[in-house]
C-alpha cells in the first residue's frame, strides 16, 4: 500500500534556546531575564516556538542531598506562571511566540514533579507534562563526587505522554532521561506526534559507569535521532550545559527531522539559540510508509513490553541510578 507523502507545507519555525549554567546563588529574576533575552533573540529570528531546558529556572539542585527536603522548597514553583516568571510569559505574548519551559513543580497537595509547560503563541497554556522516567537515586550517596538524587526530589509521573494539537500540528513533550527510552517516543508515535520538545540537564560524568562519559554526546544524539526516525517525528532537545557548581554538563542541543537528520545543533555550551524551519508534513514520509504503525506494528507479538518492568533478574530488584 502506498501511503500519502507530504502535502502543502505546514512549517513551524522552532528555536532551541540552550542555556549555560545557572549557579546556586543566581537570582531567579536574573535567570528569567536570561530566558527573556533568549526568547527575544529567537523571535528576532522568526521563531514561533522556543524550547527551553529542563529545570531552567534554577541550578540542577538534585546534585546535592538535603536531609530536610523543605530546605529545597525554594527551588520549586508553586504556580506557573508566577510573579517571578510573569516577565517571560509577557515577553512571549508581546512577541507572539510560544514556548516550552522546564521547572520543578510543588503542587498544592505537596507533591513534587520535574515538569515542563507548553504555552501557545497567544499565551494560553496548552499542557503540563511531568517526567515519567526519573533517573538517579533516592537516598544520600556520600561516596559520589556529586549526587544525582532526582528520585529523592521528584515523584515519577503515571500520567504518561500526552500529544496536543498546537502550532498547527501534533506536539508532544518529554524531559531529559525520558529521551533515552524508546517507549517514550512510541507512546507519542501511537498518538501521531509530529514534534517532540525536550529539555535536559546531563552531567558529563555518569558515576555508575565512567566508561560512558566519552560517549555522552554520541548517546545524546543517538537516542533522539533514533526516536525521531523510528516514529517519523521532529525532536527538539535543549540543554542547560556548561560548568554548573563544579559539575560539567553536556550541551549538544539540536533540532532533528523525521528522517533522523540534524537540522541545527549548538556549537558552544552557553546561552545559544538555534533555529530550523520544521515542515510538519515531512512526518508523513515516514509515518505513512516505513513506520505506518497501523499497518506494520505487531502488538500481538510484543508480549513483554507492558507486562514486565525488566527481565526480573536484578538481584535486589532495586533500580540503579
Q: Which segments within 156-261 are labelled E, that is strand?
A: 163-166, 169-175, 195-200, 234-239, 242-244, 247-249, 254-256
Q: How far is the CB of 294 from ligand ING (least distance, A)?
A: 31
Number of residues that bind ligand ING (CB under 6 A): 9
| Among candidate residues 127, 147, 124, the one with its CA nearest the CA of residue 137 | 147
71: left (phi over 0), alpha (psi -120 to 50) or beta: alpha
For residue 238, the minimal CB distance to ligand ING (Å) is 12
Using the rule CB under 6 A, is 285 a contact of ligand ING?
A: no
Residue 146 CB, nearest distance to ligand ING (Å)?
11
CB of 270 to ligand ING, least distance (A): 19
Nearer to ligand ING, 98 or 237 (CB): 237
Nearer to ligand ING, 210 or 311 (CB): 210
Peptide bond into 213 cis (omega under 30): no
Contact pattern from residue 147 through residue 186 relative to ligand ING, giving x for each residue in contact according to CB under 6 A and a dash for the rest: -----------------------------xx--x------
Q: Decide if 2 is catalytic.
A: no
Quote the CA–CA distance of 16 and 53 in Å, as a whole number: 9
Q: Which is nearer to ligand ING, 216 or 283 (CB)?
A: 216
Q: Which residues make Cβ contacts (< 8 Å) with residue 249, sequence separation at least 6?
A: 21, 60, 201, 202, 203, 204, 239, 240, 241, 242, 243, 269
- Is-contact 316 39, C-beta < 8 A? no
Residue window 32-71: x/- pattern of binding to ligand ING, with contact defined by CB under 6 A: ----------------------------------------
Q: How far is the CB of 13 from ligand ING (least distance, A)?
A: 27
Give the Cα-Cα-Cα angle 275, 278, 283 (nearest 5 degrees).
Answer: 150
Catalytic residue of the set 36, 48, 54, 283: 54
Place of cell 537516542: 223
Residue matched to cell numbers 539559540: 273
Site string for ligand ING, 195-234 (x = CB under 6 A): -----xxxx--x----------------------------
**Least distance from C-beta 38 to ligand ING, angstroms?**
20
Looking at 88-96, 194-202, 285-293, 307-315, which segment touches ligand ING (CB under 6 A)?
194-202
Nearest CA to 241 among 209, 276, 199?
Answer: 199
Q: State the burial class of residue 231 (Cβ atoms within 10 Å of its Cβ: 0-12, 13-18, 19+).
A: buried
The one catalytic residue in 48, 131, 244, 281 is: 131
Exactly one of 48, 120, 176, 278 is catalytic; which is it?
176
Q: What is the DSSP string of 231-289?
A: HT-EEEEEEB-EEETTEEE----EEE-TTS-EEEE-SSSSSEEEEEEEEGGGGHHHHTT
Cα dihedral 238, 255, 120, 131 sign: negative
Residue 283 is among the residues annotated as catalytic for this protein: no
Place of cell 508566577: 82
Is the Cβ of residue 134 or residue 255 nearer to ligand ING in the bound state? 134
Q: Residue from 135, 189, 227, 241 that binds ligand ING (CB under 6 A)?
A: 135
Active site residue 131: yes
Applying CB under 6 A, the residues found at the interface with ligand ING are 135, 176-177, 180, 200-203, 206
Query: Active-site positions?
Result: 54, 131, 176
Amino acid at each position: 500500500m502506498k501511503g500519502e507523502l507530504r502535502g502543502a507545507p505546514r512549517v513551524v519555525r522552532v528555536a532551541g534556546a540552550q542555556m549555560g549554567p545557572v549557579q546556586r546563588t543566581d537570582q531567579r529574576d536574573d535567570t528569567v531575564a536570561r530566558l527573556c533575552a533568549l526568547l527575544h533573540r529567537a523571535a528576532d529570528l522568526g521563531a514561533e516556538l522556543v524550547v527551553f531546558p529542563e529545570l531552567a529556572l534554577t541550578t540542577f539542585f538534585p546534585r546535592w542531598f538535603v536531609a530536610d527536603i523543605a530546605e529545597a522548597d525554594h527551588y520549586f514553583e508553586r504556580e506557573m506562571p508566577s510573579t517571578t516568571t510573569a516577565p517571560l510569559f509577557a515577553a512571549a505574548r508581546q512577541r507572539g511566540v510560544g514556548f516550552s519551559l522546564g521547572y520543578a513543580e510543588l503542587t498544592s497537595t505537596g507533591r513534587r514533579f520535574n515538569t515542563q509547560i507548553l504555552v501557545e503563541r497567544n499565551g494560553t497554556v496548552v499542557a503540563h507534562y511531568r517526567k515519567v522516567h526519573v533517573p538517579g537515586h533516592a537516598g544520600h550517596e556520600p561516596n559520589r563526587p556529586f549526587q544525582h538524587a532526582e528520585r529523592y526530589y521528584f515523584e515519577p509521573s503515571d500520567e504518561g505522554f500526552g500529544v496536543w494539537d498546537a502550532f498547527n500540528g501534533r506536539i508532544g513533550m518529554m524531559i531529559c532521561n525520558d529521551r533515552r527510552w524508546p517507549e517514550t517516543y512510541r507512546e507519542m508515535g501511537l498518538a501521531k506526534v509530529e514534534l517532540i520538545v525536550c529539555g535536559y540537564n546531563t552531567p558529563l560524568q555518569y558515576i555508575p559507569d565512567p566508561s560512558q562519559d566519552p560517549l555522552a554526546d554520541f548517546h545524546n544524539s543517538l537516542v533522539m535521532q533514533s526516536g525521531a526516525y523510528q516514529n517519523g517525528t521532529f525532536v527538539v532537545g535543549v540543554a542547560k550545559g556548561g560548568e554548573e557548581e563544579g559539575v560539567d554538563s553536556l550541551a549538544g542541543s539540536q533540532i532533528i527531522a523525521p528522517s533522523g537528520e540534524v537540522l541545527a545543533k549548538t556549537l558552544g555550551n552557553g546561552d545559544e539559540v538555534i533555529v530550523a524551519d520544521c515542515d510538519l508534513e515531512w512526518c508523513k514520509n515516514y509515518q505513512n510508509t516505513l513506520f505506518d504503525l497501523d499497518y506494520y506494528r505487531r502488538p500481538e507479538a510484543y508480549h513483554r513490553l507492558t507486562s514486565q518492568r525488566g527481565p526480573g533478574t536484578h538481584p535486589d530488584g532495586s533500580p540503579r541510578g
